[in-house]
Chain A
Amino acid sequence: MSTQPKSLFEKVWDAHSVRKLANGQTQLLIGTHLIHEVTSPQAFGMLRDLGLKVLMPHRTFATVDHIVPTNELVEPYKDPLAQAMMDELRKNCAQFGVTFFDRASGKQGIVHIVGPEQGITQPGTTIACGDSHTSTHGAFGAIAFGIGTSQVRDVLATQTMALGALKVRRIEVNGKLRPGVYAKDVILHIIRLLGVNGGTGYAYEYAGSTFDAFTMEERMTVCNMSIEGGARVGYVNPDATTFAYLKGRPYSPSGAAWDAAVTRWSSFASDAGCRYDDVVKIAAADIAPTVTWGINPGQGISIVENVPSPETATSDDDRAGIIEALAYMKLPAGKPIKGTKINVAFLGSCTNGRLSDFQEVAKYIQGRKVAPGVRAIAVPGSQIVALQCEKLGLDKILAEAGFEWRAAGCSMCLAMNPDKLIGDELCASSSNRNFKGRQGSVTGRTVLMSPVMVAAAAVTGQVSDAREVFAVN
């Protein structure tokens, strides 16, 4: 054993490296494979064509999230295409012996919420899923990759995939976040700073006292959006917070195996003095509530700033980007983002659809009302999150305020289900992407923000500073 200090990424990579492939890539063992209805049917089809089996069905877990209607519980769904995808996944799981967290199980939800809450997501492991937000699982000190359908096939058939190692950039955030500033603001700030492709070729290691103090749900929010900064992988080193979260979950080890697991998990944390390919340091105090004004997640500003104007562009590229984004967003150049009228408020998604997100919103929205004319929906990320919220009466508080309380799913984050923007509606959204047309209307507009900022926008009917609306200080 070498005593050279190593990063978590290197340790996990080494432990899961099977062999070198002819083209120089590594055949990497994927310990946990998560699948869902949108990117798996073709992969199962390829398996059938090749006459292959699922190599390790006990390490493969399925749920249904992208297409499930959040306002329709009984099958067959009104949309026959959605029903067909549901049927296909059910059939594939049954035929290949894969555990399926179906709606009837009470454990269904967005795949990146289900893995952690079941205790399937564990430190020092490799995880793959046919979904770019798989980076979420890195919050536990796992190396988690979003993959395409051919790689879903590869992992189903061989429990491995072909991959080149990534560089590691440590992003250190130190200090206490100011009141009204959340994990969502931290990641929007990081992406604004480093750009939407700044992370290409990198795994992001998030560290520093801000992350040390974060809950697992906060860490998940940040890791979730790594891919929006171009980084396929993002992780936080496992610590006591990680272990406390995992203790007692259905797939977590128990008894003597628990202690052994904690020792093993701890050993994967990056060694002091290990080499990083890059280090970025950010002061928590410099982060403000952040919102996007454009058509990619890097086009963000703090709520007190003005929308950029083409004249302030730093390059021709930047100018073209600003002009394109402002034209699509129908926002005036150089004016405050605050006060922009909204039509829809969306709470949910794999970024911000967990218990603490709804708790924080409920704390502030209790006794307030959604502004007239605003359509507001709150979508728990899983059936378990829904149940946790309902036990605490959060659903009632949200409903009383004027939010529709829905069933678990991806909902309006990507609108592969009935939850969609109409025309050029503008949505204050706790999701992760503000791409053109992302929320289901080709002219629909998205402003990304934290859940509490969504709540502030909902009650005022415009993009607002939650610190003012809710007197946060």
Chain B
Amino acid sequence: MALEKITSVSGRGVYVPGNDIDTDRIIPARFMKCVVFDGLGEFLFYDVRHTPEGVPTGHPIDKPEHKGAKILLSGANFGCGSSREHAPQAIHKAGFRAVVAENFAEIFFGNSTTLGIPCVNAAREDIAKVAAAIEKNPDIEIVVDVAALEVRYGSDKIPVTQRESARDALVNGRWDAIGELIDGIPAVQNTAAKLAYMAA
């Protein structure tokens, strides 16, 4: 399966402040009553974006100047909690193609990488600098450069980090492992044959 080589993602950015933003907050459980992922985008951060009565709260991603943003910036431990892939699916379907945060919860990070959404870590003060630049000029182009491990904005840049296995998978177009896993099936059968509990 030929996959796109994701070396960098460019576009406008939006900053959603906060630490420990869990996947229930990213996509509330009631929107997971579905058998396909289509349509999840509009429910991204739904309960933060709306009052209990359904009135928009003026969440950053709803601000007109951030419409069409492709890069999401946030705080520490982003995507903690439930393993629901519905969370990165909702982020992707809402148009985002990369996430920059202080750090990520493990399962969310893996789920996002498998969908080809680079998640890169940056220092808090550096994220604040990018957020300030966006605040000043919402149209500023942000480049999340996965290959070079930096985020560029205007004439400035900040360093970012990413687990090497994910970076390798993204830039070499093998972020969805299914093809490679299928190629390994004969070896899988050999390993399984050595484990008594896996006998048919």
Give A residues with C-beta under 8 Å from B. Answer: 15-19, 21-25, 27, 29, 31, 38-39, 41-42, 45, 50, 52, 55-56, 58-59, 66-67, 79, 81-82, 84-85, 88, 122, 125, 130-132, 134, 146-151, 153-154, 157-164, 196-197, 200-201, 227-228, 230, 232, 253, 257, 260-261, 264, 296, 317, 320-321, 324, 414-416, 423, 433, 435-438, 440-443
Contact = CB atoms under 8 A, between A and B. Distances in A.
Interface string B2-46: 000000000000000011101011001110111111000000000
B158 interface: no
Interface string B184-200: 11011011101111101
A58 B200 contact: yes
B188 A150 contact: no
Interface stretch (B64-72, B102-110, B130-138, B144-152): B102-110
B177 A435 contact: no
B24 A435 contact: yes
B141 to A, nearest CB: 29
Nearest to A198: B77
Given A23-B169, A148-B84, A18 B184 contact: yes
A443 B194 CA distance: 52
Contact of B22 (A39, A55, A148, A435): A435
B182 A158 contact: yes
A131 B83 contact: yes
B174 interface: yes
9 contacts: A27-B188, A31-B195, A31-B197, A148-B111, A150-B111, A150-B176, A162-B177, A261-B196, A436-B24
Interface of B: 18-20, 22, 24-25, 28-30, 32-37, 47, 52, 76-77, 80-86, 88-89, 103, 105-107, 110-111, 114-115, 163-166, 168-169, 172, 174, 176-178, 180-182, 184-185, 187-188, 190-192, 194-198, 200
A19 B184 contact: yes
Nearest to A55: B185
B30 A415 contact: yes
A21 B177 contact: yes
A154 B177 contact: yes
The 8 A-B residue pairs whose C-beta atoms are closest, nearest first, are A148-B85, A148-B111, A162-B177, A41-B35, A81-B33, A132-B83, A146-B83, A149-B85
A56 B77 contact: no
B191 A22 contact: no
A258 to B, nearest CB: 12
A25 B24 contact: no
Contact of B198 (A31, A131, A232, A442): A31
Contacts of A438: 24, 29
A64 B26 CA distance: 24
B124 to A, nearest CB: 9
Nearest to B190: A18
A125 B199 CA distance: 13
Given A31-B195, A56-B198, A159-B192, A84 B181 contact: no
Nearest to B175: A23
Contact of A160 (B33, B172, B184, B190): B184
Contacts, number: 216
Given A160-B181, A162-B181, A436-B25, A200 B200 contact: no
Contact of B196 (A153, A260, A317, A324): A260
A393 B118 CA distance: 54
A442 B181 contact: no
A197 B77 CA distance: 6
B106 A200 contact: yes
B136 to A, nearest CB: 23
Contacts of A82: 33
B90 to A, nearest CB: 12
B106 A201 contact: yes
A35 B114 CA distance: 19
Given A260-B196, A415-B30, A154 B181 contact: yes
Contacts of B185: 55, 158
A433 B106 contact: no
A148 B83 contact: yes
B83 A414 contact: no
Given A196-B80, A232-B107, A22 B174 contact: yes
A151 B114 contact: yes
B192 A27 contact: no
Nearest to B22: A435
B20 A151 contact: no
A416 B198 contact: no
A410 B177 CA distance: 31
Contacts of B187: 18-19, 27
Contacts of B77: 196-197, 200, 230
Contacts of B82: 131-132, 414, 433
A24 B189 CA distance: 21
Contact of B29 (A55, A154, A415): A415
Nearest to A228: B81
Nearest to B198: A31
B180 to A, nearest CB: 6
A267 B181 CA distance: 29
B110 A148 contact: yes
Nearest to A201: B106
Given A81-B33, A153-B178, A433-B81, A23 B107 contact: no
A81 B110 CA distance: 28
Contacts of A414: 24, 29, 82
A42 B191 contact: no
A16 B178 contact: no
A48 to B, nearest CB: 12
